[in-house]
Structure 1
Amino acid sequence: MIADDLGSWAAALCFDDLSEHAVHTVRQRLVDTLGCGLGAFHAEPSQAARRLARALPLGPSTVLGTSDRTTADVAAFVNGTMVRYLDFNDGYIGLEPGHPSDNIPACLAVAEAEGRSGRDLVTAVALGYEVQVQLQDAANLYRRGWDHVNYVLVSATLAAGKLMGLDAGQLTQAVNIALNGHIAMRQVRAGELTSWKGSSAPNAARNGVFAAWLAREGFTGPAPIFEGEMGFMRQVSGSFVLEPLMFPRASSSAYAVSRTLTKLLPTNGEMQTAVWATLALREQIPDLHEIDRIVVDTTHIGWTILGKDQEKWRPTTRETADRSLPYTVARVLVDGELTVSSYDPDALADPAVAALMARVEVREAPVLTAMLPARIPNRVTIRLTSGDELVREVLDAPGGHETPMTDEQFEEKFTALVAPLTSAERCGRMLDEIWNIDRAPTVTALTGALVVVDDHPILDRPSRETS
């Protein structure tokens, strides 16, 4: 059974089984993910999540960017919400899209709570990525109305349980418990999007931590959870094949973390190539009033997620806008760039962008869909009032399979996100701790280095006496 095989594989995996490439890729993903989380420090969902943490009892895990402490499950939720807010963290597209870095906040929180080493953290992160990516390759969820974070639920449970020292049987039971009780619907990404878009995966990770706790104390869960008469395959995913016992287990193996994609632009992963295409065309248009019509040909997943709903033509929330091809293409044409402020409230109300959005058509091109998942293509065609047409098709974005980001690019991205919060010296110390995490006896030096509130006091911080 799949859950049993997952438990056996996860229990056996150790740091020495990882390839050096996998270890270094985990370091890169830690730089990328923690930078994205800190970059969203002031966002309202981040502040709301921190307020929640401060209203609850203290615990052993650190709230990202602060010296506040909370329980591991709450830290997984709060820090995960921060990581996801900007939609700037990594991603992966198989039969199902998703963000494997959603596992990192849970891994860091549990590693700190359990006093685990940096090597243990790296192993758990690689484990979480492996499970989530393999599940994303195995079966599609979004076409059946279920959210991709149901795969985060499985991967985060196993990663958290690994850090808790659960044996194979306990890990299996943790998956059984988690998957039976916490299935997420796809409505979170349909129509007008809310702040829960960025908290659905953190909530799955939080539930995974709790399920691992339960299994450690002896709770058992329904089985077989994947193949059973009323299990995951029958109710959610449809039938699929997954062979966890064939997952990598040696330093000579290729690990799934190395197949994940990263971003140089702060928006949805399926939209990256459309933005790069639009930026290239923008250089050829001296006057935006000459634009008569804009057509974005995209993949099925691009059309479904980024262009199908009418709300994408009148986004009123950041979460809807950064899932909108019409808005993002129009925004890039007006500004000639895409930044973390491109989805701010005043930007959403820009009449120039609204006027351009009215001229945008989004449609699926089967020839582009056929390129998935090896490529994530988009084609942008702009017809001018003169009758001329400008066309640009981009198959791969920087950070993709063909042009992976370098260590220097990860550092530049991290620094740009964190610089408004702290000094250059502290930013450098943060990066040093992350790049050397596999040499650290515990992760507490890292979580301590990531504190930014000492440099930049935050007004949303209530006193302990009033929380």
Structure 2
Amino acid sequence: MTLIPAADDNSSKPYDAVIQAIVDYVYDYEITTENAWARAKVALMDALGAALESIHTSPQCAQLVGPAFPLAPGTSGLFRLPGTSYQLDILKGAFDLGAMIRYLDHNDAFPGAEWGHPSDNLGAILAVADVRSRVALAEGDPSSVVTMKQVLEALIKAYEIQGCFQIKNAFNKVGLDHTILVKIGATAVSSKLLALTRAQALSAVSHAWMDGHPLRVYRQAPNTGPRKGWAAGDACMRAVHLALLAKAGQPGASTVLTTPRWGFYDVLFQGKEFDLPQPFGTWVIETVLFKVNTAEGHGMTAVEAALEIADTLRAKGLDPVKDIQSIHAKTQAAGMTIINKAGALHNAADRDHCLRYMVAVVLLKGAQVETADYQDDSPWATDPRVDALRQKITMAEDAQYTADYHDMAVRSVANSLTVTLADGTVLPEVLVEYPLGHVRRQETPKEVYAKAERNLGLRLSEDRVQEILATVASEEFWTLPACHFVNKFSL
């Protein structure tokens, strides 16, 4: 007897619970924590400072941004790209700002089973808020203006969505890039900023999961390349596009995650479901790691340890190349995956994801590694002493560092360095658990604002920088139309 396969179940089903939870949070959750609002201001200024630093410092980033093709004079509803004179359509604007924020790996970071950078989402958020506000004011519709309080609300919620997924869900284990979470978070909050109905937002978020998503290959040897700098911009652009498609009436796929065989879980996540260990709130913005110094997040404490060792060597009159026999670095599992790199380093993206390079440059400089030190035209990029020191550095995972990294009550990003001198003397191990920029370091907010002030000054006058800082500190900031805030960053 021939068995006839059962027909596919085509009955209507509600949206997957994860998608409903995301949209419910974005549309219903009220933010009441003062610390969350204060930290959101810090995050906003840090991200915009990083964006201006990228466009100023990296010729490769500068080549990426600007109109894809000339726009007609007087075209309305355009995004004014911070740090430039460009006026861009909403999609190119989201791409460009997302790329600028991320390009130099100097924006914030959030560790977990997945690694990511929540301020990437601001590329979509600010482009949408700016354009919608400009159109509303031009059309005499003040009720549709997006205020800076709404921008910060979107920022807090995008951070929370991305970070809560990062805690337990390792997209890297299946080869997917973490910018999938930028796409999800940015799609959800862009939907609200664009005044989509709840049903339209559910559709938009389902489309974000439906996309398939970029591979992580461009972050890993031997294919590490500059795409890792614009991947977030790509996610921001796609997020805005999907929200606009849903607003135009495109229906969603209600069981995009759970449907057997064809859904995300079966196709891309090895049949596993997402693990969200806590409800969405404001925890991520309140604990996100800011990068005061320019180093990949998992190597920041190694850089601080190297600075301490450099001081010791200087005090002893020792030369790092001649007088060091070996250096042993202990790190977390994430550090072993992301910044454990041997052999030739081909570009800035390679260098800023190499712990050995960062440590070697710090020891030779006797000072903090800086953005320029990773660039192709940096003298360190071709200095044979850097490679000589890199070859003396070994790396290994410390199980306790990994455990503390994942422990939600600890969340350290520890690295330690032990130096053996040429005469056999072993210097005391230098361990740094919490980098500058960590929530446990009291000086973090002050240092992040100082970093933002420096970065803004690369493109804007001192008077303009002080005006921006004063605006952010004022009560008027909360009701300021987003486009009026963005105008302050234009050339």
**Common fold by TM > 0.5:** yes
Among all aligned residue pairs of Structure 1 and Structure 2, give the percentage whose two residues are the same amino acid.
26
Return the alpha-carbon distance in structure 1 between the equivalents of residues 398 and 276 of structure 2. 33
Retained in 2: the 8 A contact 1:7–1:170? no
Are residues 51 and 182 of structure 1, via their aligned partners in 2, closer, same or farther at CA, if it must alter by over 3 Å?
farther
Asked if 2 retains the 8 angstrom alpha-carbon contact of 1:8 and 1:169, the reply is no
Match of 1:457 in 2: none
Give the 3 Å change call, closer, same or farther, for CA 245–386 of structure 1 in structure 2. closer
Aligned counterparts, 1:139-178, within 5 A: 139-178=169-208
Report the counterpart of residue 47 of structure 1 in structure 2: 62
Match of 1:270 among 298, 301, 305: 298
User: Is the 1:142–1:186 contact (alpha carbons within 8 Å) kept by the matching residues of 2?
Assistant: yes
- Aligned pairs for 1:275-354 (under 5 A) are 275-285=303-313, 286-288=318-320, 289-307=322-340, 309-310=341-342, 313-337=343-367, 338-345=369-376, 346=378, 347-354=380-387
* Counterpart check, 1:117 vs 2:147: yes
2:440 is equivalent to residue 424 of structure 1: no
Residues 78 and 88 in structure 2, CA contact (< 8 A), matched pair in contact too: yes
Deviations 1:125-182 (A, max 9, x none): 1111111011112311112211111111100101111101112211111011122125
CA RMSD of aligned residues (A): 2.0
Give secondary structure in 2 for the equivalent of 1:362: strand
Q: Does 1:369 align with 2:402?
A: yes
Which deviations, in whole Å up to 9, do the C-alpha atoms of 1:381-424 show, x marking residues without a partner? 11101111122111111111321544432221012223232321
| Count of matched residue pairs | 442
* C-alpha separation in 2, matches of 1:300 and 1:244: 21
2:416 is equivalent to residue 360 of structure 1:
no
State the match for 1:4 in structure 2.
Answer: 20
Structure 2 partner of 1:29: 43
- Counterpart CA distance in 1 for 2:305 and 2:278 is 42
Q: Is the 8 A contact 1:375 1:396 kept in 2?
A: yes
Give the 5 Å matches for 1:65-464. Answer: 65-115=83-133, 116-191=146-221, 192-229=223-260, 230-238=262-270, 239-241=272-274, 246-248=279-281, 254-285=282-313, 286-288=318-320, 289-307=322-340, 309-310=341-342, 313-337=343-367, 338-345=369-376, 346=378, 347-373=380-406, 374-390=411-427, 391-436=429-474, 438-451=477-490, 453=491
Equivalent position of 1:251 in the other structure: none
1:56–1:228: structure 2 CA closer, same or farther, 3 Å change rule?
Answer: farther
For residues 105 and 51 of structure 1, the distance between their equivalents in structure 2, rounded to whole angstroms, comes to 14
Listed as ranges, the gaps of 5+ residues in structure 2 are 1-16, 134-145
Deviates more, 1:435-444 or 1:206-215: 435-444
Could you tell me how far apart the structure 1 residues matched to 2:278 and 2:433 are?
Answer: 34
Do the aligned residues in 1 keep the contact of 2:66 with 2:86 (CA within 8 Å)? no
**Residue 178 of structure 2 aligns to which amino acid in structure 1?**
H
Give the CA deviation at 1:438.
4.2
Equivalent AA in structure 1 for residue 404 of structure 2? M
Which secondary structure does the structure 2 equivalent of 1:40 belong to? helix
For residues 148 and 266 of structure 2, the distance between their equivalents in structure 1, rounded to whole angstroms, comes to 39
8 A contact 2:66–2:88 mirrored in 1: no
Task: Give the whole-Å Cα distance in 2 for the aligned partners of 1:419 and 1:87.
Answer: 19
Alpha-carbon distance between aligned partners in 2 of 1:245 and 1:214, rounded to the nearest angstrom? 31
Rounded to whole Å, the distance in 1 between the matches of 2:443 and 2:107 is 13
SS of corresponding position for 1:284: helix
Secondary structure of residue in 2 paired with 1:23: helix
* Equivalent pair of 2:323/2:421 in contact (CA under 8 Å): yes
> Residue deviations 1:313-358, cap 9 Å, x none?
4212111100001111111110112112111223211111111112
Q: Is contact 2:206-2:253 (8 Å) kept?
A: yes
Distance in 1, matches of 2:332 and 2:294, equals 20
Counterpart in the other structure of 1:38: 52
Is the Cα contact below 8 Å between 1:434 and 1:446 reproduced in 2? no
Of 430-439 and 332-341, more deviation after overlay is shown by: 430-439
Q: What SS does the aligned partner of 1:176 have?
A: helix
